[in-house]
Amino acid sequence: MLDPVVIVVAVLLAGYLAFSRRLSRSSSWNATVTPLASIMGSGFLVCAPLLSSAVGYYAIFSMAGLLALSFAVGGAIRFNIRYFEPIENSGNGPAQKIAFLSRIVLAGAYFISVTYYLQLLAAFLANIIGISNEVVVRLVTTILLVIIGGFGMWRGLGMLERLEKYAVALKLGMIGGLLLALLAHNTQIFIRGQWSLPNVSSEINFQDLRILLGLLIVVQGFETSRYLGEEHSAEERISTMRSAQLISAGIYLVFIALVTVLFEKDLGEDVTAIIEMTKPIAVVLPLLITIAAIGSQFSAAVADNAGAGGLIEEITHHRLPMRYAYLLILMITVVLTWETNVNGIIAYASRAFALFYTLQCAVAFVVAWQLRELPRRSMRLVSFAMLSITCLLVFTLGMPAE
């Protein structure tokens, strides 16, 4: 009985998000959905099984910690939008030099995230056809990288980027259907008196903490607001980034709270385990999740490929043509594909973005230090310094769930 309801909710929500004229014309919505879709992207697919394996039924508290850290880092980036952007190109001081280094780090992080998204896509594709072979996953990932890179070198990625709107709508529609199904399942077993915490290991040691730090990538994506300056004002980007982080935090916490009852001992570190977890709830969910995963991860890979290409062009002061930038991205991502696996690339991506966040918090610290009349200056200096150190610890200690 739940299957048709899930389908209807997912289709209606996806259709509204994809084809609503009111939303498409709303500057505020467009500025919100970009970071929101990025935050909710791959993390929603992998967080439950990986948190189950690492921290058991403390998953919701661990996710809350990751979300709190990401919101605090988002505050530093929002500070940079307001106070650093106006002076970014007007000098060559410490803040500008750190910011330039952070762009180089972000380009490298995009290389890793492109590989991560497509490895995850390949893993879900292999799962749905019943193949669990890392060589096959890497081969599929390589083929997809060649397709995207070849398209970029041939005609640019503009045409593929236009698919993002529909991939985002599909993903958010799936999330709506999944949350409804999980709510119905929890309500049903609670009424029957069968609701209980899962019998899984929930002891947290130092290695589990390191694995948790390696999952920062699941709440990454809010920084995209920093680079939407051509389409949206600074104030709009600040408010919509905050909104995107709060909305995604609410969705993540509700999801983890509802899915915890499905945690099992033998989930291991399988990033596609969300499919097996949801099978008992509604037969249609595994198919919906797989379709949404394939569409959203391909779209995210295209977006980050384009982002990396743009950063390379900017870093080289337009001396390197875009087609060669895409060729460089292709070569590096293919090497990463064959030197890592999905769990490993998650940790590497988390550490790369943690280093970027470290540098962004350092920029915020330097700018706050220079602004003598800044409101709450001392508090901001302390918070930016602590955030920079924390992100550096994530970069140093984060490890894969293997």
Degrees, nearest 5: CA angle 9-15-18:
135
Query: What is the average pLDDT across 327-343?
Result: 92
pLDDT value of residue 132: 77
Lowest-pLDDT range of 33-47, 175-189, 242-256, 372-386: 33-47
How is 308-358 classified by DSSP, letter by letter?
A: HHHHHHHHTTT-S-HHHHHHHHHHHHHHHHHH--HHHHHHHHHHHHHHHHH
User: What distance in Å separates the CA atoms of residue 24 and residue 367, rounded to the nearest whole number?
Assistant: 36
Rounded average pLDDT over 345-364? 93
pLDDT digits over 269-290, tens only? 677 888 888 888 888 888 888 8
pTM: 0.91
Mean pLDDT of the chain: 87
Assess whether pLDDT exceeds 80 at residue 213.
yes
CA distances for 21 relative to 158, 164, 173, 277, 385, angstroms: 22, 16, 17, 36, 44
- Confidence band (pLDDT; 50, 70, 90) for 11? confident
pLDDT at position 266 is: 61
Nearest to 326 by CA among 158, 140, 75, 88: 158
Task: Give the Cα separation of 144 and 123 in Å (integer).
Answer: 13
Reading phi first (left if > 0) and then psi (alpha if -120 to 50, else beta), residue 231 is in alpha
Buried b (16+ CB within 10 A) or exposed e, 90-122: eeeeebbebbeebbebbbbbbbbbbbbbbbbbb
Burial of 4 (0-12, 13-18, 19+ CB in 10 A): exposed
Round to whole Å and give the CA distance between 9 and 70. Answer: 30
Contact 360, 102 (CB under 8 A): yes
pLDDT tens-place string over residues 143-170 = 999 999 988 888 777 777 677 778 888 8
Lowest mean pLDDT among 100-104, 227-231, 238-242: 227-231
Q: How far, in Å, CA of 172 to CA of 44, rounded?
A: 10
196-221: average pLDDT: 83
- Tell me the average pLDDT across 42-67: 87
Q: Which two tokens stand for residue 256?
A: 């983890």
